[in-house]
Amino acid sequence: MKTEFIQRCIKGITQAIIEHENDIESLDRAIGDGDHYINLKRGCLAINSMANDFNLMPPSDVFKKIGMKLLSTIGGASGPLFASFFLELSKSLENDGDDRDGFTKGFASGVRAIMTRGKSDFGEKTMLDVLIPISELLNNRVDGDIFDVATQIDRKANEAMLATKDLLPTKGRSAGLGDRALGHIDPGAKSCQVIISAVCQEILKGKK
C-alpha cells in the first residue's frame, strides 16, 4: 500500500459517503442518535482537505495523522472509535507501506481497539459486525490475488451490513429500542460498508 493509493482512497471514500447521505441518515434517524452522518461527513471532509499534505509521508505516518485528525474532528461515539482504529493500524506498517501482512495485522489491531474502546463484540448490531468478518477474511486471504480478495471483501462487507437487520442492539441509543430495532440496518455498519466498498473499488480500478 502506497501513500498515493491512500490519497485516492480518501477522495473515493469522501465521495461515497456524500453519495450515501440519505441512506446513512435515514438509518441513524431510525435507531441511532441522529448525528452519525454529520460527524462522519465532517471527518471525511477534514481528512480530504489535508490529503495533499501526505505526499512525502510513509503510510504509517499518514494513518497516524488520520487517526489524530479524526479524534479532534468527529464528535459522538464514532470519532474515538475510528480514531483508535487508524492509530493502531499505523503501528503495524513498515515505512514503505508495501506490506500486506503488516496491513492485515494492523487492521486486526484496529478492530480490537474498537472492541476495547466500545466494550463491544460481534453480534451486537454495531460497526464491528462488518469489521470483524472483514478482518477474518483478510487474515485468511493475506497471500491471495489482490483483485480477487478485493471482490470478496466488497461482497462480504455488504452481506455483513445487511445481516445487522436481524440483530438486537446492546450498545448505544438503539439498545433501548429492543425489538423495535429489528429490521433496521445499523448505521455504523452501513457507513463501514460504504467506506470498505470505496477502497475495494479503488483496488479494482487497477485491474481495468
Q: Is 80 exposed, middle or buried (0-12, 13-18, 19+ CB in 10 A)?
A: middle
Render the burial of 13-38: b for 16+ CB within 10 Å, e for the rest.
bbebbeebeebbbebbebbbeebbbb
**What domains are there in the chain, each with its CATH number?**
3-205 (1.25.40.340)
pLDDT tens figures, 126-135: 999 999 999 9
DSSP class of 74: -
Grid cell at residue 27: 438509518
Please report the sign of the dihedral spanned by the C-alpha atoms of residue 79, residue 81, residue 85, residue 87.
Answer: positive
Closest CA to 92 of 73, 115, 117, 113: 113
Residue 137 CA: distances (Å) to CA of 20, 87, 130, 204? 25, 21, 11, 17
Average pLDDT over residues 169-184: 77
Render the burial of 185-197: b for 16+ CB within 10 Å, e for the rest.
bbbbbbbbbbbbb
Looking at the predicted structure, is the pLDDT value of residue 146 above 60? Answer: yes
Closest CA to 1 of 88, 87, 60: 60
pLDDT of residue 2: 87
pLDDT tens figures, 87-123: 999 998 865 555 788 899 999 999 999 999 989 999 9
pLDDT tens figures, 45-91: 999 999 999 998 999 999 999 999 999 888 777 888 999 999 999 99
Phi and psi at residue 109, to the nearest 5°: -65, -40
Grid cell at residue 105: 495485522
Q: Does residue 5 sit in helix, strand or coil?
A: helix
Residue 53 CA: distances (Å) to CA of 3, 74, 154? 11, 20, 29
Mean pLDDT of the chain: 90
